[in-house]
Amino acid sequence: MSGDTQKQAGQLETKIVAAIDATTDATALEAVRVGSLGKKGSVSALLKTLGGMSAEERQLNGPLFNALRDKIAEAIAAKKTELDAAALNARLAEETMDMTLPVDSDPQFEGRIHPVSQVMEELSAIFADMGFDVAEGPDIESQFYNFSALNIPEAHPARQMHDTFYLKAEEDGDALVLRTHTSPVQVRTMQQGQAEKSGPPFRFIAPGRTYRCDSDQTHTPMFHQIEGLVVDESTHMGHLKHTLETFLAAFFELDDIAIRFRPSYFPFTEPSMEIDMQCHRDGERLVVGSGDEWMEIGGSGMVNPHVLRHAGIDADKYQGFAFGMGIDRLAMLKYGAPDLRAFFEADLRWLKHYGFLPIDVPGLAAGLSNKTLANINKAT
Ligand code: PHE
């Protein structure tokens, strides 16, 4: 009888130990535990049979069954430790981290400053260093400031020359226009200076947006100009030429740069000259500096006395020069962007390539165009 019971216990042990060995995860092991040691488990059932046994049998089988229960509990605990360790190792293997990978990019290196904005900052830095203020005027301008005050009378062909965008006329007045050049800022700023008794002398630049009804590879309906004006008692054309040469050399970061004046006509200057800059061709590209080609970069001249009078300035006492240049053209030449239209297409890939890092603020002290982005691109 008791031999049978022992055999039974032995078989049960073999069976459960084999089941424990066969488990490969915690869930399966828990099922084996419940099936053996749980309330309705096989080992628990065996222990319950002790109640129906005689005192002798119980004395014999009790330790045997208890030993079986302890053995199974131990085997389950050991297997659990083993499975836990295996699971941890598997997770560690799966969640490895490559410490040699670069860190996620820093947000300050994500955004870009548009080349036109960057060049405007460069222009302001250079002219500020030469003692120029920075003036501004409205994009939506009256015909008076855009034309009449600049000595372009009504019905003058120059009004047609500019391909002006006219806005709808107000009931009590002339139609406003989108300014066709930055020259209206000349008169506005001089008038304001007169009112505030802060000039003459005047020495300022006015960078900003300008508009003409024109569009092809080298013209966009909106573009940017920089106006320059100096008015005092003795400023002459030599000062104009020197100012432009100094500015261009600083802007293109060259030792010196040759320019030439070509006679031209603007109603608001007399005499008037087109400004050409010396350059040469390198394949498709125009390179600024030396060479046997000349590139037009803007207009200039001595301020017409009529313009001074419109600003309330004594034209017998004061004289000066003015110039206007295309900022987009300057940006294209300096930074090698081939197509003007791409400047205004808001293509982020283009901006990533041609744009500047916000931390690269142009200044003359550290070299005009900081090269952080170029250095980053070189390093990666
Ligand atoms: N306003 C002129 C233009 O847009 C340029 C210019 C400015 C010419 C100042 C002379 C003096 O073409």
Check residue 35 and give its pLDDT. Answer: 94
324 Cβ closer than 6 Å to some ligand 1 atom: yes
Which ligand 1 atom lies nearest to the CA of residue 228? 9
Structural domain span for residue 83: 2-94
Q: For 198-292, list the strands marked E by DSSP.
A: 202-211, 222-232, 259-266, 269-282, 285-288
- Please state the atom number of ligand 1 nearest to the C-alpha of residue 300: 10
Q: Which residues of 210-243 are buried (b: 16+ CB within 10 A; e: fewer)?
A: bbbeeeeeeebeebbbbbbbbbeeebeeeebbeb
Counting the structural domains of the chain, the total is: 2
Based on the fold, state whether residues 144 and 266 are members of the same structural domain.
yes
Last residue of a domain, one of 94, 124, 144: 94
141 CA to centre of ligand 1 in angstroms = 16
Q: Are residues 141 and 285 in the same domain?
A: yes
- For residue 150, which atom of ligand 1 is closest to its CA? 1
How much of the chain is helix, strand and coil, in % rounded to 5? 45, 20, 35
183 lines ligand 1 (CB under 6 A): yes
Could you tell me if 90 and 121 lie in one domain? no
Ligand 1 centre to CA of 120 (Å) is 18
CATH number of 343's domain: 3.30.930.10
- For residue 181 and ligand 1, the question of a CB distance below 6 A is answered with yes
Question: Could you list the pLDDT tens digit for every one of the 380 residues in the chain?
Answer: 457 888 888 999 999 999 999 999 999 999 999 999 999 999 999 999 998 999 998 898 999 999 999 999 999 999 999 999 999 999 998 888 888 887 777 777 788 999 999 999 999 999 999 999 999 999 999 999 999 999 998 888 767 767 899 998 777 778 899 999 999 999 999 999 999 988 799 999 999 999 998 887 778 999 999 999 999 999 999 999 999 999 999 999 999 899 999 999 999 999 999 999 999 988 878 889 888 999 999 999 999 999 999 999 999 999 999 999 999 999 998 988 888 889 999 999 999 999 998 888 888 776 677 655 555 555 54
| Ligand 1 centre distance from Cα of residue 299 (Å) | 5
Among 181, 270, 274, say which to mutate for ligand 1: greatest number of ligand atoms within 8 Å of CB: 181
Alpha carbon of 271 to ligand 1 centroid (Å): 12
Name the residue of 147, 210, 266 to mutate for ligand 1: max ligand atoms within 8 A of Cβ: 266
Question: 285-288 and 293-303: which strand pairing?
Answer: unpaired
Q: Quick one: 45 and 161 in the same domain?
A: no
Out of 183, 224, 229, 273, mutate this one to test ligand 1's pocket (max ligand atoms within 8 Å of CB): namely 183
- Residue 103, CA distances (Å) to 75, 96, 376 in order: 47, 16, 14
In a domain, 104, yes or no: no
Q: Is 105 inside a domain boundary?
A: no
Tell me: do 223 and 366 sit in the same domain. Answer: yes
Q: Are residues 10 and 131 in the same domain?
A: no
pLDDT for the residue numbered 182: 98
Cα of 163 to ligand 1 centre, how many Å? 15
My answer on whether 171 and 270 are in the same domain is yes
Q: What is the pTM of this model?
A: 0.71
What distances in angstroms separate CA 224 from CA 71, 179, 198, 338, one per listed residue?
A: 89, 11, 27, 17
- The answer to whether residue 211 is domain-embedded is yes
Contacts of 21 (CB under 8 A, 6+ apart): 79
Gap from CA of 321 to ligand 1 centroid (Å): 11
